[in-house]
Amino acid sequence: MKSFNIALMGGDGTGPEVLREGVKVLDAVAAKYDLKFNYTDYDFGGERYMRTGETLPDSAIGELKKNDAIFLGAIGHPDVKPGILELGILLKLRFALDQYINLRPVKLYPNVPTPLKDKGPEHIDFVIVRENTGGIYTGMGGASMVGTGNEIATQLMVYSRPVVERCVRYAYDYTRKRNGKKLLTLVHKCNVLTHVGDLWVRTHKEVGDADYADISQDYNHVDACTMWMVKSPEFYDVIVTSNLFGDIITDLGAMIQGGMGIAAGGNINPEGVSMFEPIGGSAPKYTGKNVINPLASICAGGMMLDTLGESAAAKAVDTAVHDALASGKIKSLSAGHMGMGTTEVGDLIASMIK
Ligand code: IPM
Ligand code: MN
Protein backbone atom coordinates (compact mmCIF):
# COMPACT_ATOMS: atom_id res chain seq x y z
CA MET A 1 0.00 0.00 0.00
CA LYS A 2 1.33 3.40 -0.98
CA SER A 3 0.87 6.17 1.53
CA PHE A 4 0.97 9.94 1.11
CA ASN A 5 1.11 12.79 3.61
CA ILE A 6 -1.34 15.49 2.63
CA ALA A 7 -1.55 18.95 4.22
CA LEU A 8 -5.13 20.19 4.35
CA MET A 9 -5.70 23.94 4.33
CA GLY A 10 -9.44 24.57 4.39
CA GLY A 11 -8.97 28.31 4.59
CA ASP A 12 -11.88 30.74 4.56
CA GLY A 13 -15.58 30.88 3.79
CA THR A 14 -16.79 27.77 2.00
CA GLY A 15 -13.21 26.50 1.62
CA PRO A 16 -13.42 23.95 4.45
CA GLU A 17 -16.80 22.65 3.17
CA VAL A 18 -15.61 21.96 -0.35
CA LEU A 19 -12.31 20.56 0.89
CA ARG A 20 -14.19 18.07 3.07
CA GLU A 21 -15.90 16.68 -0.03
CA GLY A 22 -12.60 16.55 -1.90
CA VAL A 23 -11.16 14.51 0.97
CA LYS A 24 -14.24 12.26 1.02
CA VAL A 25 -13.60 11.38 -2.61
CA LEU A 26 -9.87 10.86 -2.00
CA ASP A 27 -10.75 8.40 0.73
CA ALA A 28 -13.13 6.55 -1.58
CA VAL A 29 -10.31 6.36 -4.14
CA ALA A 30 -7.86 5.17 -1.48
CA ALA A 31 -10.11 2.25 -0.59
CA LYS A 32 -10.29 1.08 -4.22
CA TYR A 33 -6.71 1.76 -5.28
CA ASP A 34 -4.84 0.53 -2.22
CA LEU A 35 -3.63 3.97 -1.20
CA LYS A 36 -3.42 5.64 2.18
CA PHE A 37 -3.60 9.34 2.89
CA ASN A 38 -2.33 10.78 6.17
CA TYR A 39 -3.83 14.23 6.63
CA THR A 40 -2.57 17.14 8.70
CA ASP A 41 -4.84 20.14 9.17
CA TYR A 42 -3.60 23.72 8.96
CA ASP A 43 -5.75 26.74 9.81
CA PHE A 44 -4.09 29.46 7.73
CA GLY A 45 -6.50 32.02 6.36
CA GLY A 46 -8.45 35.14 7.23
CA GLU A 47 -9.78 34.03 10.61
CA ARG A 48 -6.35 33.17 11.90
CA TYR A 49 -4.92 36.38 10.49
CA MET A 50 -7.53 38.47 12.31
CA ARG A 51 -6.89 36.58 15.54
CA THR A 52 -3.09 36.56 15.46
CA GLY A 53 -1.91 38.97 12.76
CA GLU A 54 -0.12 36.05 11.16
CA THR A 55 -0.61 34.98 7.55
CA LEU A 56 1.86 32.17 6.97
CA PRO A 57 4.78 32.03 9.43
CA ASP A 58 8.12 30.84 8.04
CA SER A 59 8.02 27.84 10.38
CA ALA A 60 4.85 26.67 8.63
CA ILE A 61 6.64 26.56 5.31
CA GLY A 62 9.15 24.08 6.69
CA GLU A 63 6.31 21.93 7.99
CA LEU A 64 4.28 22.09 4.79
CA LYS A 65 7.39 21.05 2.85
CA LYS A 66 7.42 17.73 4.70
CA ASN A 67 4.16 16.72 3.04
CA ASP A 68 3.74 15.08 -0.36
CA ALA A 69 1.14 17.65 -1.41
CA ILE A 70 -1.11 20.42 -0.12
CA PHE A 71 -4.87 20.38 -0.66
CA LEU A 72 -6.39 23.85 -0.33
CA GLY A 73 -10.01 24.96 0.09
CA ALA A 74 -9.99 28.73 -0.48
CA ILE A 75 -8.27 31.82 0.86
CA GLY A 76 -10.12 35.15 1.03
CA HIS A 77 -11.98 36.91 3.85
CA PRO A 78 -14.40 39.83 3.47
CA ASP A 79 -12.99 41.58 6.56
CA VAL A 80 -9.36 41.43 5.46
CA LYS A 81 -8.01 44.09 3.13
CA PRO A 82 -7.49 42.70 -0.38
CA GLY A 83 -3.90 41.68 -1.02
CA ILE A 84 -2.86 40.64 2.48
CA LEU A 85 -3.94 37.01 2.31
CA GLU A 86 -3.24 36.67 -1.41
CA LEU A 87 0.33 37.86 -0.99
CA GLY A 88 0.89 36.51 2.51
CA ILE A 89 -0.40 33.00 1.90
CA LEU A 90 -1.00 32.06 -1.74
CA LEU A 91 1.87 33.85 -3.41
CA LYS A 92 4.20 33.23 -0.48
CA LEU A 93 3.60 29.50 -0.81
CA ARG A 94 4.05 29.54 -4.58
CA PHE A 95 7.41 31.27 -4.18
CA ALA A 96 8.64 29.41 -1.11
CA LEU A 97 7.81 25.99 -2.53
CA ASP A 98 8.88 27.04 -6.03
CA GLN A 99 5.56 25.95 -7.51
CA TYR A 100 6.54 27.24 -10.91
CA ILE A 101 3.68 25.72 -12.87
CA ASN A 102 0.02 26.60 -12.60
CA LEU A 103 -1.90 23.87 -14.36
CA ARG A 104 -5.51 24.59 -15.30
CA PRO A 105 -7.54 22.16 -17.37
CA VAL A 106 -10.42 23.70 -19.31
CA LYS A 107 -12.82 20.83 -19.86
CA LEU A 108 -16.55 20.93 -20.48
CA TYR A 109 -18.32 17.94 -18.96
CA PRO A 110 -21.64 16.64 -20.33
CA ASN A 111 -24.82 18.49 -19.31
CA VAL A 112 -22.81 21.50 -18.17
CA PRO A 113 -23.99 24.73 -19.81
CA THR A 114 -21.30 26.81 -21.48
CA PRO A 115 -21.93 30.41 -22.51
CA LEU A 116 -20.45 29.53 -25.91
CA LYS A 117 -23.21 29.01 -28.45
CA ASP A 118 -23.10 25.72 -30.35
CA LYS A 119 -20.14 24.35 -28.39
CA GLY A 120 -20.13 21.09 -26.48
CA PRO A 121 -17.72 18.78 -24.65
CA GLU A 122 -16.17 17.80 -28.00
CA HIS A 123 -15.06 21.42 -28.48
CA ILE A 124 -13.87 22.45 -25.04
CA ASP A 125 -11.07 20.26 -23.74
CA PHE A 126 -7.65 21.83 -23.39
CA VAL A 127 -5.12 22.62 -20.69
CA ILE A 128 -3.42 25.88 -19.81
CA VAL A 129 0.11 25.73 -18.42
CA ARG A 130 0.70 29.07 -16.73
CA GLU A 131 4.16 30.08 -15.54
CA ASN A 132 3.52 30.62 -11.83
CA THR A 133 6.40 32.34 -10.05
CA GLY A 134 7.95 34.84 -12.46
CA GLY A 135 7.04 37.77 -14.65
CA ILE A 136 5.07 40.62 -13.20
CA TYR A 137 4.29 38.57 -10.10
CA THR A 138 7.85 38.86 -8.77
CA GLY A 139 6.82 42.25 -7.39
CA MET A 140 9.88 44.04 -8.73
CA GLY A 141 9.55 47.72 -9.44
CA GLY A 142 8.81 50.73 -7.33
CA ALA A 143 7.03 53.97 -6.89
CA SER A 144 8.18 57.51 -6.38
CA MET A 145 6.57 60.84 -5.58
CA VAL A 146 3.53 58.89 -4.41
CA GLY A 147 0.55 61.13 -3.80
CA THR A 148 1.94 64.04 -5.79
CA GLY A 149 0.75 65.02 -9.22
CA ASN A 150 3.91 63.52 -10.70
CA GLU A 151 3.63 60.10 -9.10
CA ILE A 152 5.37 57.31 -11.00
CA ALA A 153 5.16 53.58 -10.54
CA THR A 154 6.76 50.59 -12.26
CA GLN A 155 6.06 46.88 -12.07
CA LEU A 156 8.56 44.83 -13.99
CA MET A 157 7.98 41.78 -16.13
CA VAL A 158 11.06 39.77 -15.19
CA TYR A 159 11.97 36.52 -16.93
CA SER A 160 15.21 34.59 -17.21
CA ARG A 161 15.95 31.86 -19.73
CA PRO A 162 15.99 29.10 -17.05
CA VAL A 163 12.64 30.19 -15.64
CA VAL A 164 11.07 30.27 -19.11
CA GLU A 165 12.72 27.06 -20.19
CA ARG A 166 11.64 24.92 -17.23
CA CYS A 167 8.05 26.03 -17.80
CA VAL A 168 8.18 25.39 -21.54
CA ARG A 169 9.74 21.94 -20.98
CA TYR A 170 7.04 21.04 -18.49
CA ALA A 171 4.43 22.08 -21.07
CA TYR A 172 6.01 19.98 -23.83
CA ASP A 173 6.26 16.96 -21.52
CA TYR A 174 2.66 17.47 -20.45
CA THR A 175 1.51 17.72 -24.08
CA ARG A 176 3.30 14.46 -24.87
CA LYS A 177 1.83 12.67 -21.86
CA ARG A 178 -1.66 13.99 -22.56
CA ASN A 179 -1.37 12.47 -26.00
CA GLY A 180 -4.15 14.55 -27.55
CA LYS A 181 -3.58 16.62 -30.66
CA LYS A 182 0.04 17.01 -29.58
CA LEU A 183 -0.08 20.73 -30.17
CA LEU A 184 1.61 23.22 -27.85
CA THR A 185 0.51 26.81 -28.42
CA LEU A 186 2.62 29.57 -26.90
CA VAL A 187 0.50 32.56 -25.90
CA HIS A 188 2.30 35.87 -25.45
CA LYS A 189 2.42 39.39 -26.83
CA CYS A 190 5.70 39.38 -28.73
CA ASN A 191 4.57 42.09 -31.14
CA VAL A 192 4.75 44.62 -28.29
CA LEU A 193 6.76 42.95 -25.51
CA THR A 194 9.75 42.64 -27.79
CA HIS A 195 12.28 41.62 -25.13
CA VAL A 196 10.40 39.23 -22.90
CA GLY A 197 8.16 38.01 -25.71
CA ASP A 198 11.17 37.22 -27.85
CA LEU A 199 12.71 35.19 -25.02
CA TRP A 200 9.54 33.10 -24.78
CA VAL A 201 9.21 32.69 -28.55
CA ARG A 202 12.81 31.53 -29.01
CA THR A 203 12.72 29.21 -26.01
CA HIS A 204 9.46 27.60 -27.18
CA LYS A 205 10.92 27.03 -30.65
CA GLU A 206 14.43 25.94 -29.65
CA VAL A 207 13.29 23.49 -26.98
CA GLY A 208 10.58 22.10 -29.27
CA ASP A 209 12.88 21.73 -32.27
CA ALA A 210 15.60 20.06 -30.19
CA ASP A 211 13.66 17.66 -28.00
CA TYR A 212 10.01 17.44 -29.01
CA ALA A 213 9.81 16.69 -32.72
CA ASP A 214 6.56 14.79 -32.05
CA ILE A 215 4.81 17.95 -30.77
CA SER A 216 3.53 20.63 -33.17
CA GLN A 217 4.24 24.24 -32.27
CA ASP A 218 1.95 27.20 -32.62
CA TYR A 219 1.85 30.79 -31.38
CA ASN A 220 -1.01 33.20 -30.57
CA HIS A 221 -0.87 36.75 -29.27
CA VAL A 222 -2.76 36.85 -25.98
CA ASP A 223 -5.46 39.22 -27.25
CA ALA A 224 -6.13 36.96 -30.22
CA CYS A 225 -6.13 33.95 -27.87
CA THR A 226 -9.11 35.38 -25.96
CA MET A 227 -10.98 35.60 -29.29
CA TRP A 228 -10.10 32.03 -30.29
CA MET A 229 -10.99 30.64 -26.86
CA VAL A 230 -14.49 31.99 -27.43
CA LYS A 231 -14.82 31.35 -31.17
CA SER A 232 -12.89 28.10 -31.72
CA PRO A 233 -11.80 26.54 -28.42
CA GLU A 234 -11.52 23.16 -30.19
CA PHE A 235 -8.39 24.56 -31.79
CA TYR A 236 -6.37 24.15 -28.57
CA ASP A 237 -4.67 21.18 -26.99
CA VAL A 238 -2.16 22.68 -24.54
CA ILE A 239 -1.39 26.39 -24.08
CA VAL A 240 1.77 27.60 -22.38
CA THR A 241 1.95 31.20 -21.25
CA SER A 242 3.48 33.64 -18.82
CA ASN A 243 2.14 34.41 -15.37
CA LEU A 244 -0.14 37.43 -15.87
CA PHE A 245 -1.48 36.35 -19.26
CA GLY A 246 -2.17 32.93 -17.74
CA ASP A 247 -4.00 34.49 -14.80
CA ILE A 248 -6.32 36.29 -17.19
CA ILE A 249 -7.00 33.59 -19.75
CA THR A 250 -7.57 30.88 -17.12
CA ASP A 251 -10.52 32.85 -15.71
CA LEU A 252 -11.92 32.99 -19.23
CA GLY A 253 -11.26 29.26 -19.44
CA ALA A 254 -13.16 28.67 -16.19
CA MET A 255 -16.20 30.47 -17.59
CA ILE A 256 -16.34 28.51 -20.84
CA GLN A 257 -16.12 25.21 -18.96
CA GLY A 258 -19.15 26.07 -16.87
CA GLY A 259 -17.90 28.40 -14.16
CA MET A 260 -16.11 28.38 -10.85
CA GLY A 261 -18.10 25.40 -9.59
CA ILE A 262 -16.02 23.08 -11.74
CA ALA A 263 -12.70 24.89 -12.33
CA ALA A 264 -9.71 23.30 -10.61
CA GLY A 265 -6.03 24.12 -10.62
CA GLY A 266 -2.68 22.94 -9.40
CA ASN A 267 0.30 25.00 -8.27
CA ILE A 268 2.97 22.53 -9.19
CA ASN A 269 6.61 22.02 -8.38
CA PRO A 270 7.35 18.92 -10.45
CA GLU A 271 10.33 18.13 -8.22
CA GLY A 272 8.78 19.26 -4.93
CA VAL A 273 5.57 19.90 -3.02
CA SER A 274 2.56 20.99 -5.07
CA MET A 275 -0.73 22.56 -4.00
CA PHE A 276 -4.17 21.86 -5.48
CA GLU A 277 -7.25 24.04 -5.22
CA PRO A 278 -10.65 24.86 -6.62
CA ILE A 279 -9.95 28.23 -8.20
CA GLY A 280 -13.29 29.81 -7.34
CA GLY A 281 -12.53 31.55 -4.07
CA SER A 282 -14.13 31.47 -0.64
CA ALA A 283 -17.71 32.56 -1.56
CA PRO A 284 -18.34 33.75 2.04
CA LYS A 285 -22.07 34.38 1.62
CA TYR A 286 -22.70 30.65 1.16
CA THR A 287 -20.66 29.57 4.18
CA GLY A 288 -22.19 26.80 6.31
CA LYS A 289 -25.32 26.45 4.17
CA ASN A 290 -24.40 23.16 2.45
CA VAL A 291 -25.16 24.76 -0.94
CA ILE A 292 -21.72 25.37 -2.45
CA ASN A 293 -20.59 23.15 -5.32
CA PRO A 294 -17.67 20.93 -4.31
CA LEU A 295 -16.92 19.56 -7.81
CA ALA A 296 -13.98 21.90 -8.41
CA SER A 297 -12.40 20.74 -5.16
CA ILE A 298 -13.06 17.12 -6.09
CA CYS A 299 -11.44 17.69 -9.50
CA ALA A 300 -8.47 19.38 -7.79
CA GLY A 301 -8.08 16.21 -5.70
CA GLY A 302 -7.98 14.24 -8.94
CA MET A 303 -5.23 16.50 -10.26
CA MET A 304 -3.32 15.92 -7.05
CA LEU A 305 -3.49 12.16 -7.59
CA ASP A 306 -2.18 12.55 -11.11
CA THR A 307 0.74 14.70 -9.97
CA LEU A 308 1.54 12.17 -7.22
CA GLY A 309 1.91 9.58 -9.97
CA GLU A 310 -1.41 7.82 -9.34
CA SER A 311 -2.80 8.24 -12.83
CA ALA A 312 -5.33 5.39 -12.67
CA ALA A 313 -6.77 6.80 -9.46
CA ALA A 314 -6.84 10.28 -11.01
CA LYS A 315 -8.68 8.93 -14.02
CA ALA A 316 -11.23 7.31 -11.70
CA VAL A 317 -12.07 10.71 -10.20
CA ASP A 318 -12.43 12.31 -13.61
CA THR A 319 -14.64 9.45 -14.81
CA ALA A 320 -16.84 9.66 -11.71
CA VAL A 321 -17.32 13.42 -12.17
CA HIS A 322 -18.03 12.88 -15.86
CA ASP A 323 -20.54 10.07 -15.22
CA ALA A 324 -22.28 11.92 -12.38
CA LEU A 325 -22.82 14.95 -14.59
CA ALA A 326 -23.83 12.79 -17.56
CA SER A 327 -26.47 11.11 -15.38
CA GLY A 328 -28.27 14.45 -15.00
CA LYS A 329 -28.61 13.98 -11.24
CA ILE A 330 -26.79 17.24 -10.54
CA LYS A 331 -29.20 19.88 -11.81
CA SER A 332 -26.85 22.85 -12.07
CA LEU A 333 -23.32 23.80 -11.09
CA SER A 334 -24.45 26.98 -9.32
CA ALA A 335 -24.51 27.20 -5.56
CA GLY A 336 -28.01 26.52 -4.27
CA HIS A 337 -29.30 25.13 -7.56
CA MET A 338 -27.62 21.75 -7.69
CA GLY A 339 -30.79 19.88 -6.67
CA MET A 340 -28.79 18.47 -3.76
CA GLY A 341 -26.43 19.75 -1.09
CA THR A 342 -22.66 20.05 -0.96
CA THR A 343 -22.30 16.85 1.06
CA GLU A 344 -24.67 14.93 -1.25
CA VAL A 345 -22.59 15.85 -4.29
CA GLY A 346 -19.54 14.51 -2.45
CA ASP A 347 -21.41 11.32 -1.53
CA LEU A 348 -22.54 10.86 -5.13
CA ILE A 349 -19.05 11.18 -6.59
CA ALA A 350 -17.53 9.01 -3.85
CA SER A 351 -20.12 6.29 -4.58
CA MET A 352 -19.28 6.39 -8.28
CA ILE A 353 -15.54 5.79 -7.92
CA LYS A 354 -14.81 2.56 -9.76
C1 IPM B 1 -5.22 32.92 -9.14
C2 IPM B 1 -5.54 34.14 -8.33
C3 IPM B 1 -4.25 34.67 -7.74
C4 IPM B 1 -3.34 35.06 -8.87
C5 IPM B 1 -4.42 35.83 -6.75
C6 IPM B 1 -5.45 35.52 -5.70
C7 IPM B 1 -3.11 36.22 -6.13
O8 IPM B 1 -6.19 35.08 -9.10
O9 IPM B 1 -4.75 31.92 -8.55
O10 IPM B 1 -5.43 32.92 -10.35
O11 IPM B 1 -3.40 36.19 -9.37
O12 IPM B 1 -2.55 34.22 -9.30
MN1 MN C 1 -6.58 34.43 -11.12
Written as one letter, the residue type at 266 is: G
User: Phi/psi at 280 (nearest 5 deg)?
Assistant: -75, -15
**Shared domain check, 131 and 105:** no
Domain boundary among 237, 254, 271: 254
Is 295 found in the same domain as 271?
yes
Residue 150 corresponds to which amino acid? N
The verdict on 128 and 19 lying in the same domain is: no
Evaluate whether 292 touches 270 at the Cβ level (below 8 Å).
no
Index of the ligand 1 atom closest to the CA of residue 132? 12
Instruction: Tell me the C-alpha distance between 2 and 312, whole Å.
Output: 14
Nearest ligand, CA 137: 1
Our measurement of the distance from residue 74's CA atom to the centroid of its chain's CA atoms, rounded to an integer in Å, reads 12
Q: How far apart are CA 196 and CA 193, in angstroms?
A: 6
Residues by chain with Cβ below 5 Å of ion ligand 2: 247
246 and 277 assigned to the same domain: no
DSSP structure class, residue 158: B
What lies within 8 Å, CB to CB, of 146 at 6+ separation is 153
Distance CA(33)–CA(83), nearest Å, equals: 40
Q: Are residues 126 and 249 in the same domain?
A: yes
- 131 with 101, same domain: the answer is no
DSSP letter for each residue of 272-341: S-EEEEETT---GGGTTSS-S--HHHHHHHHHHHHHTT-HHHHHHHHHHHHHHHHTT-S--SSTT-SSS-
For residues 225 and 155, membership in a common domain is answered with yes
Helix, strand, coil percentages (3-state) for the chain, rounded to 5, are 45, 20, 35
CA of 326 to the centre of ligand 1 (A): 31
**Considering the entire predicted model, what is its pTM?**
0.97
- Can you tell me the distance from the alpha carbon of 321 to that of 335, in angstroms, rounded to the nearest whole number? 17
Which domain CATH number covers 6? 3.40.718.10
Based on the fold, state whether residues 182 and 308 are members of the same structural domain: no
- In angstroms, what is the span from residue 329 Cα to ligand 1's centroid? 32
Based on the fold, state whether residues 128 and 211 are members of the same structural domain: yes
Q: Output the pLDDT for position 166.
A: 98
Neighbours of 93 (CB within 10 A): 22
- Closest residue by Cα to atom 1, ligand 1, is 247
What whole-number distance in Å separates Cα of residue 198 and Cα of residue 66?
A: 38
The torsion angles phi and psi of 317, rounded to 5 degrees, stand at: -65, -45
Which of the listed residues 212, 228, 254 is the one where a domain comes to its end?
Answer: 254
**Cβ(90) – ligand 1 distance below 6 Å:** yes
- The DSSP code for 214 is T
Are 96 and 118 in a shared domain? no
Would you state the pLDDT for residue 36? Answer: 98
Same domain, 239 and 337: no
Of 254, 278, 303, which residue sits at a domain end? Answer: 254
Q: Which of 267, 236, 276 is nearest to 252 (CA)?
A: 236
| DSSP 3-state of 241 | strand
Question: Could you list the pLDDT tens digit for every one of the 354 residues in the chain?
Answer: 999 999 999 999 999 999 999 999 999 999 999 999 999 999 999 999 999 999 999 999 999 999 999 999 999 999 999 999 999 999 999 999 999 999 999 999 999 999 999 999 999 999 999 999 999 999 999 999 999 999 999 999 999 999 999 999 999 999 999 999 999 999 999 999 999 999 999 999 999 999 999 999 999 999 999 999 999 999 999 999 999 999 999 999 999 999 999 999 999 999 999 999 999 899 999 999 999 999 999 999 999 999 999 999 999 999 999 999 999 999 999 999 999 999 999 999 999 999
Q: Point out the ligand 1 atom lying closest to the alpha carbon of residue 75.
A: 6
Domain residues for the domain of 269 are: 1-110+258-354
CA atoms of 52 and 141, how far apart (whole Å): 30
**To test ligand 1's pocket by mutation, which of 75, 84, 85, 90 has the most ligand atoms within 8 angstroms of CB?**
90
- Give residue 262 CA to ligand 2 midpoint distance, Å: 15
Q: At residue 195, what are phi and psi to the nearest 5 degrees?
A: -85, -60
pLDDT at 128: 99
Task: Return d(Cα 283, Cα 46) in angstroms, integer.
Answer: 13
Domain count, the chain: 2
Residues 124 and 225 in one domain: yes
- Bridge-based pairing of strands 238-241 and 183-188 is parallel
How remote is the CA of residue 117 from the centroid of ligand 1, in Å? 28
